[in-house]
Amino acid sequence: MSARLGWLDALRGLAALVVVFDHSSHTFMPDFRAELMPQFNTSRYGIMVFFLVSGYIIPASLERRGCVRTFWIGRVFRVYPLWAAVVTVLVAVDLLGLSTLRDFGSQSPVAVAVAHVTMLQELLGTPNALLVLWTLSYEMCFYLLVVALFTVRVHQRSSAVAIALAVLAVVSATAGAVLPVSALSGLVGTGPLIAFAAAAMGAALCCASSGSPVPRVFGGLLGGALGLVLVAFNGTVPLWEGLVILAVMFLGTAVHRAERGLGTWRRAGGTAVVVVACAVGSAYRYGDGHHFTRRGWITAFLLAVLTFAAGWAWRDRRVPRPLTGLGAVSYSVYLVHPVLLAVIDGTAGRRNDDHAWLEVAFFALLLPLCVLTHRYVEMPGQACGRRLARPPRAQVSKSTVSSSDTGNDWQVRT
Q: In sequence order, what DSSP letters do the residues of 174-196 get, joined into one string? A: HTT--PPTTHHHHHH-HHHHHHH
Q: Which of 20-24, 106-110, 151-155, 391-395 bottoms out in mean pLDDT, i.e. has the lowest?
A: 391-395
Is the model's pLDDT at 380 over the cut of 70? Answer: yes
Give the per-residue SS3 of 41-91.
Answer: CHHHHHHHHHHHHHHHHHHHHHHHHCCHHHHHHHHHHHHHHHHHHHHHHHH
Is the model's pLDDT at 178 over the cut of 90? Answer: no
Give percent above pLDDT 90 in the chain: 71
Is the model's pLDDT at 399 over the cut of 50? Answer: no
User: Given pLDDT bands bounded at 50, 70 and 90, which one contains residue 164?
Assistant: very high
Considering Cα of 169, then 175, then 180, then 183, what sign does the dihedral take?
A: negative
Give the separation between CA 243 and CA 399, rounded to whole angstroms: 41
Residue 180 is predicted with a pLDDT of: 73
Residue 317 is predicted with a pLDDT of: 87
Query: DSSP code of 375?
Result: I
Q: What is the mean pLDDT of residues 152-158?
A: 91
Q: From residue 147, how far is each of 176, 279, 341 by CA, in Å?
A: 31, 25, 36
User: Given pLDDT bands bounded at 50, 70 and 90, which one contains residue 216?
Assistant: very high
> What mean pLDDT is reported for the chain?
89
Residue 332 is predicted with a pLDDT of: 97
Is the model's pLDDT at 6 over the cut of 70? Answer: yes
User: Given pLDDT bands bounded at 50, 70 and 90, which one contains residue 171?
Assistant: very high
Is the model's pLDDT at 177 over the cut of 90? Answer: no
Residue 189 is predicted with a pLDDT of: 92
The rounded Cα 263 to chain-centroid distance in angstroms is 25
Give the separation between CA 52 and CA 238, rounded to whole angstroms: 19
Give the separation between CA 322 and CA 92, rounded to whole angstroms: 32
User: Given pLDDT bands bounded at 50, 70 and 90, which one contains residue 414?
Assistant: very low
pLDDT, one tens digit per residue, over 323-358 is 999 999 999 999 999 999 999 988 887 777 888 999
